[in-house]
A = this chain, B = another copy of it.
C-alpha cells in the first residue's frame, strides 16, 4: 500500500492526476503530453503513435524542411494528390480521393454505389450502422439493413436471404451495395473471413451489387491473416482507409476505387462540406508512414507477443479469435489499476482496466518499437510487484 501511495503521489506531483482523481484517472493523465519527456512514449491504446500537439507540430516542421510540400487547394492537388496516388497504389486501385473523415468516405461511397437501388446490407455491428448518426439513411434516403447482430461475420446465405426478401416485395426495389467493415471496431477489431468475403464479392458481381469495404484499419490485417491489402481490396469496388489511425495524421481518410468512380467525386465531397481548404497538414504526415507501416506493424506485433509471452509470472496474453491489433492482457496477481499507474510512470500507456476480465484490452502499434524489449520486460515485471 505504501508503494501504491508513492505512485499516486508521483503522479499527483507530476500533474498527471489531480487530488479528485483517485477513483478514475482523467483522460489527460493518459495523454502522451506530460512531464515524462525523458522517457520514450509507448502506448497500448491507439492504432498509431499518438502524437502530442507539440510533437505533431515538430513532425510537420521536419517534413516541410526535408522536402517541398506542395499545398493543396480545397483538398485537391499538391501533397494530397500524392497521398491519393500512394494509397491507390498500395491498394491496387486505379484512383483515390481524399475525404475529411471515415464517416464521409463510407457515406459517399455507398451513396454513389447504390445508384437507384436503395437497400444496403451492412453488419449490424458496423460503424456506418451505429456510429454515423444514420447519415446514409437521413441524407441519402438509403435503407441500411443490419445483418447478424452481435457478430463480425455474415455469410453469403445471409445475403441471399435479403435478396429473397427484396424479390418478394410488392414494390420493386433492390440491393445496391454490400458494405463490409473489417476489422470491426465494435468487435475489438475482429477480421471478416476472407473466404466468405470472396464468395459474397462473386455473388455481388454476378448480381450487379456494389461492394464497399470500410477498411479504416485494413493495413493491420495482413500480419494476422497472411492476405495482402491488395487481395482484400480487389474484392471491393471501393475501399475506405483512415489516415488518422495507422498513419498518424491528425485527421483524414482516403476513398479508393476505379478511375471512373473517383472522377469528379471531389464535387460530392464539396457538396457535403468536406473539402477543407487545406488538408496538407494531414496528408503530409500520413505520406511519411504508409510505406513503412506494414513492416513496422509486423515487427511491433512480434515484439508485443514476445514481450507478453515472456511475462509468465504476472501476466497472461490471450488473443481474440479472428483478431487483429487488439489483444487481451490478463493480470494474474496485481491490481490492474496499480499496474496501469506503475507503467504510466514509465511513460507507457495502457487502457483503463476492463470489466470483461481482470486486466486490459490493449492495442499493438509501432510505438512499441521505441523501447527495447528487455526494458519493456523490466517495466511490466516491476508493475505487478
Q: Which residues of A pack against B, CB within 8 Å?
A: 27-28, 31, 33, 52-54, 56-58, 60-61, 63-65, 68-71, 73, 79, 99-105, 107-108, 132-135, 138-140, 244, 250-252, 267-268, 270-281, 284
Task: Using known A-B contacts A53-B69, A250-B281, A251-B278, determine if residue A139 contacts B101 with beta carbons closer than 8 Å.
Answer: no
Residue of B nearest to A253 (CB): B273
Instruction: Report whether B57 and A133 are in contact in the complex, using a CB–CB cutoff of 8 Å.
Output: no
The 8 closest A-B pairs by CB, nearest first: A104-B273, A133-B271, A57-B60, A251-B276, A250-B278, A103-B273, A54-B64, A53-B69
Known contacts A53-B69, A57-B64, A104-B272; 14 additional CB pairs below 8 A are: A31-B71, A57-B57, A57-B281, A60-B60, A100-B273, A101-B276, A103-B270, A103-B272, A104-B273, A107-B273, A132-B270, A244-B277, A250-B276, A273-B274
Instruction: Report whether A281 and B100 are in contact in the complex, using a CB–CB cutoff of 8 Å.
Output: no
A102 to B274 CA separation, bound complex (whole angstroms): 10
Task: Using known A-B contacts A58-B61, A60-B57, A284-B53, determine if residue A272 contacts B272 with beta carbons closer than 8 Å.
Answer: yes
A132 contact from B54, B61, B271, Cβ within 8 A: B271
> In whole Å, how far is A132's beta carbon from the nearest beta carbon of chain B?
7
Residue of B nearest to A250 (CB): B278
A116 to B306 CA separation, bound complex (whole angstroms): 61
Chain B residue contacts of A52, Cβ below 8 A: 71
A99 contact from B73, B250, B273, Cβ within 8 A: B273
A282 to B279 CA separation, bound complex (whole angstroms): 10
Task: Using known A-B contacts A53-B284, A64-B53, determine if residue A274 contacts B100 with beta carbons closer than 8 Å.
Answer: yes
Chain B residue contacts of A284, Cβ below 8 A: 53
